[in-house]
Amino acid sequence: MGSLKEVRNRITSVGSTQQITKAMKMVSASKLRRAQDHIVQMRPFANKLKEILENLSSSIGSAEGGAYAKVRPANKILLVAFTSNRGLCGAFNSNVIRSIVRLMHGKYEEQNKAGNVKIYCVGKKASDYFSKTSAYIGNSNDLINTSDFDALAALAENIMKEFTKGEYDRVEIVYNQFKNAAVQNVTTEQFLPIQPAVVEVKAKMVQEYIFEPSQSEIVLELIPKSLKIQLYKALLDSIASEHGARMTSMSKATDNAQELLKQLKLSYNKARQASITAEILEIVGGANALGA
Q: Which of 32, 39, 53, 89 is catalytic?
A: 89
Phi-psi region of 138 (alpha: psi -120 to 50; beta: other; left: phi over 0): left
Cβ-contact 64, 219 below 8 angstroms: yes
Q: Based on the residue annotation, tell me whether 121 is a catalytic residue of this protein.
A: no
Compute the C-alpha angle 167/169/192, nearest 5°: 110
CA–CA distance, 177 with 231 (Å, rounded to integer): 12
CB 93 within 8 A of CB 133: no
Q: 80 burial class (0-12, 13-18, 19+ CB within 10 angstroms)?
A: buried
User: Strand 170-178 relative to strand 184-192: parallel, antiparallel, unpaired?
Assistant: antiparallel
Active site residues: 89
